[in-house]
Structure 1
Amino acid sequence: MAEKVYTGRELSAFCLQVSILLKAAVPLDEGLYLMADDAPTEEEKKLLHTMGEDVELGDPFFESLERTGAFPPYVVRMAKLGQQSGTLDQMMESLADYYEKEYYMMKNIRNAITYPVMMVGMLLIVLFVLFTRVMPVFEQVYTQLGVQMSPLSQAASRLGGILSGAALVVFVLLAVAVAVAAIAAGAGKKLTIAHKLMERLKRNSKTARAAAGRRFTAVLALTIRSGMELEKGMALARELVDNSKVAEKIDVCSEKLQEGENYYEAMKESGLFSSFHIQLIKVGVRSGKMDEVMQNISDDYEQQADASIDAMVARLEPTLVAVLAIAVGLILLSVMLPLAGILAGVG
């Protein structure tokens, strides 16, 4: 296992650099040495230098990629396809574009999740402080003035403190569980419960399905463009889809292709695409432009994922604000009503 593993934007940058060097007619081994000289860490310098030596000795580039263990199997397979077809420069450029879009989509999803979670945490903290610290102070003040808060207000204060405290504890426990699951995933391990929960969320999440659809169609467009048969390209794209619901539909489509149905009918009957996308695919099959059609569908899925994220945040923000406003309003009413009684008595 390599010490240095390329992920996300690093993959995009690496593929783009290789593409630029190849288009500039720089020998690949020399290009890798140049990249090694500019590498930010010693591990990356060593890795790139080793790859340069392998290529200089006559090893194929894709074998050098695979030997390092630092690159995903998808990159290795597409590099092999590009090298065998003589289009390695174009293939690496396409991979750079794919991983850049993948990086920004995952970043948007993480941000969309992090922001509401932070708001929920802050809301619970504010409510807990109000019920357990602020309300008791007013109760003591009224007691000193010889006035009792209504039984309903007192009960609401106690219940609010208990519920907000319990919710805060649950929130912290969930945060710890998510952190543990993330650390385990980073170490290559899967926690059964967390994995099952994530699978269920992905199956029911419109954003996750759109992200999986984008990944599938982007890879399919790339494989078709490189000259790979659609069935083989679909099998490769299937390996990169981490949404079981989308994967099941891909399997159905593959089975229908194996049964002899044409591309259009197989994709239509699988339920993998919407009716609008199916019409585009029909045009693509007839015109021989399936790669362009799949790329357009991929871009559409990307826009759907972004729109779904924005809609989720747009719904959640006012909901949290409304909950906080109602809670604060009820607290103010329970505090101000006894005060109004005192002022009326003084008058």
Structure 2
Amino acid sequence: MTQYQYTVKNVKGERKNGQLKANSQREAYGLLREKQYRVLSLTEVPETIWTKDLSFKQSVKQKDFVIYLRQFSTLLKAGITIVDATNILAKQTNSKVLQKTLYEIQESLQQGNALSEVYEQYPHIFKKLFTNMIRAGEASGTIADTLERLADYYEKQLRTKQKVMAAMTYPAVIAIITTFVVFFLLLFVVPTFVNMFNDLNATLPTITIWVLTASKWIQQDWWIILLLVIITVSGLLLIKKQPKGAYLLDAILLKIPIFGTLFQKAAISRMTSTLASLFASSVPILEAIEITEKVVGNEVVAKVLHEGKTSLERGDSLAEPMEQHWVIPPLVTQMIAIGEKTGSLESLLTKVSTFYENEVEAVAEQLKSLIEPVMIVLLAGVVGFVVLAIMIPMFDMFNQIH
């Protein structure tokens, strides 16, 4: 939004100065006139470091967003106007961010702006995929159906994301617990036995020497560990920001044993679902591929899509470059090739998307059942190693006494 400086007169003839934010000068005039002001002057305030809005733009939870789309579609199908439907949804949504945004959208719509144009003013909430499908729905007069299709799409993406997160959460939690337990033992438990072991004047087992050395090192040089963690995380974030670095990291993720398959299937499900939704909304194929390339969430898959777009621009097949890449399974390339020949690409992509969504669920369940015992054994093994290192000299001391 743009900041505007205004000078107005109210109904009593009193002169007032102030500032307001609006998407356009026309909208700013409308907002002032709604308050029964007579506008004397209205000028745009140049953006500087002091006037720029430095607040972080909050996004809307995907669950709240899906509910909004479902309800919006239902209201439009019931014959309620877009402006009135927006007002109703703003009043009843549980999301404060979405509520504020919808009230602003309502004001813009009342100024005569198109729905897709208004959505574009809030890219942190309404992504390019969304606005393009809404624009196509406006052109074909099927906004209600488009909203319902978008709700199905985002709901499917949410389910897939939740399944992947569920599979990743358990090992992450166990790894964090293991780390904290080991650090607690080395920092607070092991040091209490050091003096006792020194008084023994006996040769300690190798395993005990390792643990005592680790405990001493962590107590004295803990900051090195913290520094290494910060450097590693910062380095990964910097690499992720570079195109080649992001591609490399995503390629590594896809090659990770066990989890790589899950990430690959989730990316394929997202790619095919996005393409199918865009085709169903009559978005041109080249534009649909370009949008999917940006939202697929994996640089390896995005590169394959880019190569597919280039192939189409040359007059060749979309499936051809995909057939030559390891990340795209043969099932996907075969279905795309058949869809291109028969003109049924949208329906086939929808079937592929559903298939891989089910595959993600199956793999996630298998991973949880496989990882749970492995992580429990790992936790027991690591903690047991530290405890054993302390107990062995204790048993030796007990045997010497008796």
TM over 0.5: same fold? Answer: yes
Q: What secondary structure is seen at the aligned counterpart in 2 of 1:103? A: helix
CA offset at residue 148 of structure 1? 3.5
Residues 213 and 298 in structure 1, CA contact (< 8 A), matched pair in contact too: yes
Name the counterpart of 1:128.
183
CA offset at residue 79 of structure 1? 0.2
Q: What secondary structure is seen at the aligned counterpart in 2 of 1:67? A: coil
Name the counterpart of 1:277.
332
Alignment partner for residue 203 of structure 1, among 251, 254, 268? 251
- What amino acid sits opposite 1:288 in the alignment? G
CA RMSD of aligned residues (A): 3.7
Q: What secondary structure is seen at the aligned counterpart in 1 of 2:323? A: helix
Residues 60 and 95 in structure 2, CA contact (< 8 A), matched pair in contact too: no
The correspondence of residues 27-176 of structure 1 with structure 2, limited to 5 A, is: 27-40=81-94, 44-69=98-123, 70-138=125-193, 140-141=195-196, 148=202, 150=204, 152-162=206-216
CA offset at residue 222 of structure 1? 1.2
In the superposition, the TM-score normalised over structure 1's length comes to 0.78
Name the counterpart of 2:19.
none
Verify: 1:288 aligned to 2:334, yes or no: no
Q: Relative to total residues, which structure has the larger helix share, 1 or 2?
A: 1
CA offset at residue 273 of structure 1? 3.1
Identity of aligned residues (%): 22
Greater relative CO, 1 or 2 (CA 8 Å, sep 6+): 1
Of structures 1 and 2, the larger Rg is shown by 2
Name the counterpart of 2:75.
21
CA offset at residue 147 of structure 1? 7.0
Residues 91 and 226 in structure 1, CA contact (< 8 A), matched pair in contact too: yes
Residues 6 and 71 in structure 1, CA contact (< 8 A), matched pair in contact too: no
- Distance (whole Å) between structure 2 residues aligned to residue 24 and residue 53 of structure 1: 22
CA offset at residue 80 of structure 1? 0.3
- Distance (whole Å) between structure 1 residues aligned to residue 305 and residue 166 of structure 2: 29
Give the 3 Å change call, closer, same or farther, for CA 37–177 of structure 1 in structure 2. Answer: farther
Give the 3 Å change call, closer, same or farther, for CA 315–83 of structure 1 in structure 2. Answer: same
Q: What secondary structure is seen at the aligned counterpart in 1 of 2:121? A: helix
What CA deviation, in whole Å up to 9, does each residue of 1:122-153 have, x standing for no partner?
A: 21222233344334444545667x57462535
Gaps of 5+ in 2: 2-22, 24-56, 254-259
- What amino acid sits opposite 2:268 in the alignment? G
CA offset at residue 40 of structure 1? 3.9
Give the 3 Å change call, closer, same or farther, for CA 260–269 of structure 1 in structure 2. Answer: farther
Residues 18 and 31 in structure 1, CA contact (< 8 A), matched pair in contact too: yes
Number of residue pairs matched by the alignment: 338
In the superposition, the TM-score normalised over structure 2's length comes to 0.69
- Distance (whole Å) between structure 1 residues aligned to residue 298 and residue 340 of structure 2: 26
Gaps of 5+ in 1: 182-189
Q: What secondary structure is seen at the aligned counterpart in 1 of 2:283? A: coil
- What amino acid sits opposite 1:11 in the alignment? F
- What amino acid sits opposite 2:252 in the alignment? N
Q: Relative to total residues, which structure has the larger strand share, 1 or 2?
A: 2
- What amino acid sits opposite 1:21 in the alignment? L
